[in-house]
Amino acid sequence: MSSGKFDPMHQFEVHKLLDINLFGLDASITNQSMWMIFSTLCIMILFIVGLRKRTLIPNKMQSFVEVTYDFIQDLVISSTGIKGKSLIPLIFTIFSFIAMNNTLGLIPGSYTSTSQIALNFAMGLSVISFVICVGLYHHGLKFFTLFVPHGLPTVLKPFIATLELISFFARPFTLAIRLAANMAAGHILLKVFSHFAVMLASVFVAYAIVPSAVLFGINLLELLVAVLQAYIFTILTCVYLNDAINLH
Amino acid sequence: MDMTIGLKAIGASIAVLSMIGSSLAIGILSGKFFESVARQPEIESKLKGSLIIALGFAEAIGLFAFTIAALIIFIL
């Protein structure tokens, strides 16, 4: 029998695994930080093992690493031009961290760190502050002409500048919520269909075939969405950096 | 009588009504994609990547509405 009330949000609860108190600050290891550490270790192992034997004609692991690097390099250079070459490590880190976190969340029984708004907002905020710093470094105070597109009658300029400013500062929020909502909605959907399968199976086992087949399809969709959302976050970061580096 | 849960349900369903826009956006984008591929089949592989990205954006806006609905039911 389906036990108790159906609560799809229980899977997103963060609880402490190891209590650590650093000078009065709460630095305990929660299930979210454990999965973040685990995904970082997975990325490191993947790329270190892939590059262990460097041959001219790559084997499978090395070819995977090379394809990922080429992908990120094409993405950055096509968005920001050749001036963006120094940004490749940052974009690579963002992409692989988000993709690995999203994908590891699809393992049954695991926890998706990127479904927490806190993590995504931290990433969005650091990306936008980085964009502002890069813009100020390259152009000094002329960076603020980004908000005033030229070719406008002078009467409209204050209003358009205000709107542009608001939409600029909405960027960390949209980046964060896009990722968090996609991950959370996907996992809630999976939970709902699993609940249907369990409820039908408690009546008669063969009735659970239909929800299980739908579950299979949804899992594949979630795998696509996991990598796609990482790609969208990355490409939006590149677009914002392009805005800052090459004004207009 | 405690009406909170009923009112919460009504609030959440009104919030989710705005996903009509997101589904319309996805439909229009896919329609334009099919139209343009029918006109010029060689462009398909170049356009497919951009289509998936645009669908991701449209989907995300719809999911903002879902976030508000979830907020209403589970947090407020």
Tens of pLDDT, residue by residue over A194-213, are: 988 998 988 888 888 888 99
Q: Is the pLDDT of residue A43 over 90?
A: yes
Q: Is the pLDDT of residue A10 over 80?
A: yes
pTM of the model as a whole: 0.89
Name the residue with higher pLDDT: A34 or A147. Answer: A34
Q: Is the pLDDT of residue A58 over 80?
A: no
At A22 the three-state DSSP class reads strand
One-letter amino acid for residue A200 of the chain = L
Let me know how long chain B is: 76
By the CB < 8 Å criterion, does A238 face chain B?
Answer: no
C-beta separation of A31 from A111 below 8 A:
yes
Q: Is the pLDDT of residue A4 over 90?
A: no
- In angstroms and rounded to an integer, the radius of gyration of the C-alpha atoms of chain B is 18
Which residue in A180, A188, A228 is closest to B56 by CB distance?
A: A228
Show which of residues 16-75 on chain B sit within 8 Å of chain A, judged by CB atoms. 52-53, 56-57, 59-60, 63-64, 66-67, 70, 74
Strands A29-30 and A16-18: antiparallel
Residue ranges of the domains in chain A? 8-245
The model's confidence at residue A40, banded by pLDDT at 50, 70 and 90, is: very high
The model's confidence at residue A69, banded by pLDDT at 50, 70 and 90, is: very high
pLDDT given for residue A218 in this prediction:
93
Q: Are B60 and A232 inside 8 Å of each other by CB?
A: yes
Task: For residue A69, give the DSSP letter.
Answer: H
Here the ipTM equals 0.80
Q: Is the pLDDT of residue A127 over 60?
A: yes
The model's confidence at residue A28, banded by pLDDT at 50, 70 and 90, is: confident
Mutation to test the B interface, candidates A71, A115, A191, A228, most B Cβ within 10 Å: A228
Q: Which CATH architecture has domain B15-74?
A: Up-down Bundle (1.20)
Q: Is the pLDDT of residue A220 over 90?
A: yes
CA A141 to chain centre: 31
Q: Sign of dihedral through CA atoms B72, B73, B74, B76?
A: positive
C-alpha span between A87 and A238 (Å, rounded): 9
What is the average pLDDT across A218-237? Answer: 93
pLDDT given for residue A1 in this prediction:
42
Cβ-Cβ contacts under 8 Å for A227 (sequence gap 6 or more): A99, A102, A103
By the CB < 8 Å criterion, does A184 face chain B?
Answer: yes
Instruction: Look over chain A and give the mean of its residue pLDDT values, rounded to a whole number.
Output: 88
pLDDT given for residue A2 in this prediction:
44
Percentage with pLDDT > 70 across chain B:
100
What is the average pLDDT across B17-24? Answer: 93
Tens of pLDDT, residue by residue over B28-38, are: 999 999 999 99
